[in-house]
Structure 1
Amino acid sequence: MSKVKVGWVGMGRMGYPMAERLVKAGYDVYIWNRTRSKAEPLAAKGATLVDSPRDLAHVDVLGTMVSTGKDVEQVYFGPEGVLSGNETPAIFLDCSSIAVDHSAALRARLAERGAELVASPVSGNGKCVKAGKLSAVVSGPRAAFDRVEPIIATIAGNGVSYVGEGELARFCKIAHNVFLGVVTQNLAEITVLAEKAGVPRRAFLDFMNNSVMGSIFTRYKTNALVNLDWTTTFTPELLRKDLDLGLSSARALDVPMPVTAATREALQAHFGAATLKDDPEAYLQMDFAAILETVALGAGLKLESENSPYPTGLEVPQAAE
């Protein structure tokens, strides 16, 4: 059993199962979450629940999986932040998706405290974490990465890719989520096209999954698209944020990205379509795959669940539960 002390902030759809894997692997895990009740189940499984981020200052590695750069900054440097006292963890491991500039600024501030930042954004959702199919892209000081690689590998069972120093992993994650948005938008469009021509969604998507164009992503989203199951894995608002980050980076680096720009505007239409729902705010907290309904609306097609469960490929083996 490892004696490395790992602090973890973020008990959301991604953060909880990531920290849970560390607990199951035998790490000494200390956790905090803004909503305490979300962290309590993991405390019952062996993690130590603390009262504030400041109480995590004694750990060797401080991990974070939160929504925005501002959230990361608050956890690190807020009034009750990890660094609000005199102790400093040696390595800060951030798995969040944040802007490159914000990450660089956090890295510089941490260096003033003698700490190193390892950026390790991930690819996948909570089900991927549980099934051992999450992957991670990492950048930062090589020596620091070498120290935390076993921790990252425990979280990301599908592979860890070290891409270099500084914020390079942030660029990779931004590019990844841009692709996520583009693929999802186009997958929705072609699925609606096929259905309007008379092809059931399940039949069409099964063909796509078994073709050279199929992927882990298209397969695990098929059940949602077939059965109109918008159980949240990632919200439209978070996807919009990432598309904006991609376009901002593209402008800074003089890279034309017309397909991304078109996808961003198509996604914006989903926010408008949400106003037609009884509870627009709640609808926009549902999964981003619900853009299928917006595409169908534009095509004059009313979708119905096909009530036909489809294997996601992310089923967790019974022994891993």
Structure 2
Amino acid sequence: MSDNTPRTTIGWAGTGRMGYAMVSRLLKAGHDVTVYNRTRSKCEPLTELGATVVDTAAELADRDIVFTMVSASKDFAEVTLGEHGILRQSAKPRILVDCSTVSADVSAQVRQEAEQIGTALLAAPVSGNGKVVKAGKLSMVASGPREVFDEVAPLLSAIAPRAVTYAGGDEVARLVKLAHNIFLGVVTQSLAEITVLAEKGGVSRAAFLEFLNGSVMGSVFTQYKTPAFVNLDLSPTFTPELLRKDFDLGLAVARELEVPMPVASLTHQLVQHSIGRGHRDIDFAVLLTEAALAAGLTLEPEDTKVTDGLSDAS
């Protein structure tokens, strides 16, 4: 690229646990990024990496490419189509990349309105959490116009060097992410149940999970969740409320498509049960302690040094 070629300007809306880690990777890669977050103090530390911080989403509208990473469908609609939304300004980004987990209906509405003003939308939800992002092991799935994906692929790879998958047009990436997160919940519930079974039979959680992680049934995820299960560190990486939201969306799609999901439906109710017991803002690994209580077992931290399998590299 010639030194005279203008740099692509990037906007970023939403710097919660995930968004902060993701935009940090773009900044460390040398990109020009302007950031907005509803609570400004949460994104101000990004100025140390070179970010410019603004007070409203509207101030991102003159960026070439704008990323959004918000909690729910209503937040995505507000930050794009609301009174101070990115798509309601005189200036418009060429491309909008949404990395949130939102409904296909809301995404389609934003896509339609974006296209009417000449902005292309790429749906690009992700798999992982802040620590996974920092370790360079985030995965991303994208859908939308292929030529738009090809243009932003280098930016996506800077955020998610492990894997960036193009799934097709329109909103199909939303379905991929919802299916993924339903599986996440089902796997976590099953992992909780078998871990409780082993412990009630006299096996330490550390020993059981060491064996599991070394077997063909082990996975990146079971390894990653091992410290939380062994030492009962429920510092939030993904909350039961967020997991419930994804089950709500995913099971609604299953009903539309007439796909029976009995195991997922039961897990949905178990997640709801944990929320009903007040577990809203801690990690969804609380499914382990809830499974233990159902078995008449009260867990204690084992205080054993175990690895989550992630590199500490930033």
TM-score range, shorter chain: over 0.9
- Structure 1 residues 56-91: Cα deviation after superposition (integer angstroms, max 9, x where no partner): 111111101100111111111212221232111010
Matched ranges for 1:222-241 at <5 A: 222-241=226-245
Residue number among 39, 63, 70 corresponding to 2:67 in the alignment: 63
Q: How many residues align?
A: 310
What is the CA-CA distance between 1:27 and the residue it aligns to? 0.7
Residue number among 43, 47, 51 corresponding to 1:47 in the alignment: 51
Structure-1 separation of matches of 2:196 and 2:216? 20
Q: What residue in structure 2 maps to residue 137 of structure 1?
A: 141
Q: What residue in structure 1 maps to residue 300 of structure 2?
A: 304
What is the CA-CA distance between 1:137 and the residue it aligns to? 0.5
Residue number among 10, 14, 19 corresponding to 2:14 in the alignment: 10
Q: What residue in structure 2 maps to residue 188 of structure 1?
A: 192
What is the CA-CA distance between 1:315 and the residue it aligns to? 2.9
**Alignment root-mean-square deviation, CA:** 1.1
5+ residue gaps, structure 2, are none
Q: What residue in structure 2 maps to residue 277 of structure 1?
A: none
Q: TM-score, normalised by structure 1?
A: 0.95
What is the CA-CA distance between 1:309 and the residue it aligns to? 2.1
Q: Is the 8 A contact 2:139 2:162 kept in 1?
A: yes
Task: For residue 86 of structure 1, give the secondary structure of its aligned residue in structure 2.
Answer: coil
> Match for 1:3: what amino acid?
R
Matched ranges for 1:62-81 at <5 A: 62-81=66-85
> Match for 1:307: what amino acid?
D
5+ residue gaps, structure 1, are 275-279
Matched, 1:289 2:285: yes
Residue number among 95, 101, 124 corresponding to 1:97 in the alignment: 101
What is the CA-CA distance between 1:112 and the residue it aligns to? 1.2
Task: For residue 308 of structure 1, give the secondary structure of its aligned residue in structure 2.
Answer: coil
> Match for 1:155: what amino acid?
I
Q: What residue in structure 1 maps to residue 216 of structure 2?
A: 212
Task: For residue 89 of structure 2, give the secondary structure of its aligned residue in structure 1.
Answer: coil
Q: TM-score, normalised by structure 2?
A: 0.97
- Structure 1 residues 147-177: Cα deviation after superposition (integer angstroms, max 9, x where no partner): 1111111101211000110101001000000
Task: For residue 234 of structure 2, give the secondary structure of its aligned residue in structure 1.
Answer: coil
Q: What residue in structure 1 maps to residue 312 of structure 2?
A: 316
What is the CA-CA distance between 1:194 and the residue it aligns to? 0.5
Give me the identity figure in percent: 55
